[in-house]
Structure 1
Amino acid sequence: MIRARMLATAMLFNGNDLLMMKRSMTRTLNPGMWAAVGGHLEPEELNDPRTACLREIYEETGLAEHEIHDLHLQYILLRLNQNEVRQQFIYTARTARRDILQTDEGVLHWIPLDQVLNRKIPFIFHSLLEHYFTHGPTAHIWVGSAGFDHESRPVVQWAPLIDPMAL
């Protein structure tokens, strides 16, 4: 049976740094790896990933909505993990301050952008960061679907999400 899981994630920038979490070794998913702030959507948030993103930011950093600037949806990632389709909404934003809380989910660090990709990062998030650093922020949303190429290597295919009614 295929199940579905929805997640909301925030790539938070301050100056030339990205806020990243080195996940606790006790975490089930990607222990010890570097990730962005985020988590699962609660049942009442299923139609509102932005609200889930803001909740996760506050829970994991202590940053309130008024301290987050230019929050916008930049990516939607789709992937199959065993028998679960995961749909992840990735937002980008700038923060008004750098001082943040620490939680038991991992340790938060401001990482200079030129050092971000040197971290041990899950494949799909590494691919997203490479794409973002190449294309930068855009007015449209990117959709990425994870799969394998003809040589069975993992790959993410990117396409802009276009509203056909706007054409």
Structure 2
Amino acid sequence: MNLDPQKFFIGLMDFFSILLPGALLTWLMMGEVGPVVLGDRYVKLDGAQAWAAFLFASYLFGHLIFLLGSWLDEFYDWARRYTLNTQITLLARRGRLLPWPARALIWLVFKRERNLAVERASKIKRQALGPIQAQDAVNTFQWGKALLNAESPASLAVVQRFEADSKFFRCFTVVLLLLLIAWPWQHQWPLAGIPVVLALLLLALWRYMEQRYKATNQAYWSVITFAAKDSKAAPDMATEARNPSHAGGVVFHLRGGTAEYLLVEATNDPAQWVLPKGHVEEGEEPRETAVREVYEETGVWAHIVHDLEAATWSVDGAVVTTRFFLMQADGRGLREDKNREHVWLPLQEAIAKASHIETRELLQTAEQRRSHVAKTSMTANRT
């Protein structure tokens, strides 16, 4: 029988993801738990009996830890649902931005992830399972692993390797959480160790989420690659295509009661100053595009206050119509396009600095609309 090193490693990691966390918890808690469970027999354990009891307890606790750790997948799924694409949608449709601690946590794991791979893999799954009405019988990740098992065991092994790592750190996170809860009641444990355990807990949670993220994305990328080779499995792009269009934002913030407007360097000419805008991608609404483009080009989160008129621009020799929105800045995120500078300027300075007449006209229209909205809001508050 041939030994596959890759499968052996994955099996070993799966085994140790149960045994090692269970052994760690058993070793740390056996002085307190052992006498309670075994009574007088605990002090009589020695040699082979002691090792047998230790391994049994390690394996048992390891499985219980593994069971508790499965609930962390719910936390991971919540975080995955609030990656950049969802934050853009929330801000575009509801004018709401996630609190910065949540945004920071999500960025640490997912960076600029927009879930494009899982959405495409989900469409491939729906088309593949649609004829047998089984689209909802299995989630996209599990279906992707089943497909790779049939089509490319080597690709599946890569996914499983990331998954095995994530399971180990998931269980390790549970152990550290249990220790953090029990620590204050263990008088022989120094209180100075609590910050160390807390730091290890956060790092283990981070590593678990990162490895699970890599495992799921690796599965989606492989499914998409196989679909690209098989035209029958690929979604019908012709039916999903949409007419090309652009959207952007005229963004302002208030400084000392004065509105300042956001301009950014043009992509191909730093001497030109323009409004942040870009192409409406597949599946996006113009409002979402405006929020995304402002964030990607300047690192500024902004919500939509009001619609503005559309403007006609020349892009690579083609004339396109761009839908603009009046937007108010909510805060800063990670700067996306670091090669392009941006500035905040009062209206007249922004008009003077703008490179195109369309930009200057939009700035004037935006200020008129902003003033009208502000006056309407003040009147409503008084009444």
TM-score by structure 2 length? 0.29
Aligned match of 1:72 in 306, 321, 339?
Answer: 306
Aligned match of 2:344 in 99, 107, 110?
Answer: 110
Aligned match of 1:85 in 314, 319, 322?
Answer: 319
How many Å separate the matches in 2 of 1:34 and 1:14?
18
Q: Does the 8 Å CA contact 1:5/1:84 hold for their aligned counterparts? A: no
Q: Which residue of 2 aligns with 1:149?
A: none
| Larger CA Rg, structure 1 vs 2 | 2
Q: Tell me, yes or no, if structure 1 residue 57 matches structure 2 residue 290.
A: no
How many Å separate the matches in 1 of 2:358 and 2:335?
26
Q: Which residue of 1 aligns with 2:262?
A: 19
How many Å separate the matches in 2 of 1:120 and 1:51?
24
Q: Which residue of 1 aligns with 2:280?
A: 41
Equivalent residue letter for 2:320? R
Q: Tell me, yes or no, if structure 1 residue 124 matches structure 2 residue 358.
A: yes
Aligned match of 2:369 in 136, 140, 146?
Answer: 136
Shift, 1:71, TM fit:
3.5
Shift, 1:111, TM fit:
1.0
SS of corresponding position for 1:97: strand
Which range moves more in the overlay, 48-57 or 104-113?
A: 104-113
Specify every segment of 5 or more residues in structure 2 that has no aligned partner in the other structure, as ranges.
1-242, 374-383
Give a deviation string over 1:102-124, Cα, whole Å, max 9, x none: 62452011112231111142122
How many Å separate the matches in 1 of 2:350 and 2:304?
21
Q: Which residue of 1 aligns with 2:126?
A: none
Shift, 1:43, TM fit:
2.7
How many Å separate the matches in 2 of 1:81 and 1:36?
14
SS of corresponding position for 1:53: helix
Shift, 1:95, TM fit:
1.2
Give a deviation string over 1:131-150, Cα, whole Å, max 9, x none: 444x33468xxxxxxxxxxx
Q: Does the 8 Å CA contact 2:291/2:303 hold for their aligned counterparts? A: no
Give a deviation string over 1:6-57, Cα, whole Å, max 9, x none: 1111111111211111225xx1xx6521111221111332xx1111112112
Shift, 1:85, TM fit:
3.5
How many Å separate the matches in 2 of 1:75 and 1:42?
20
How many Å separate the matches in 2 of 1:136 and 1:117?
16
SS of corresponding position for 1:117: helix
Shift, 1:82, TM fit:
8.6
Equivalent residue letter for 2:266? R
How many Å separate the matches in 1 of 2:319 and 2:270?
20
Equivalent residue letter for 1:33? Q
SS of corresponding position for 1:32: coil
Structure 1 or 2: more strand by fraction: 1
Q: Does the 8 Å CA contact 1:102/1:108 hold for their aligned counterparts? A: no
Q: Does the 8 Å CA contact 2:297/2:340 hold for their aligned counterparts? A: no
Structure 1 runs (4+) greater than 6 angstroms displaced: 80-83
Equivalent pairs, count = 126
How many Å separate the matches in 2 of 1:81 and 1:101?
24
SS of corresponding position for 2:271: coil
TM-score by structure 1 length? 0.60
Q: Does the 8 Å CA contact 1:76/1:87 hold for their aligned counterparts? A: yes
SS of corresponding position for 1:103: coil
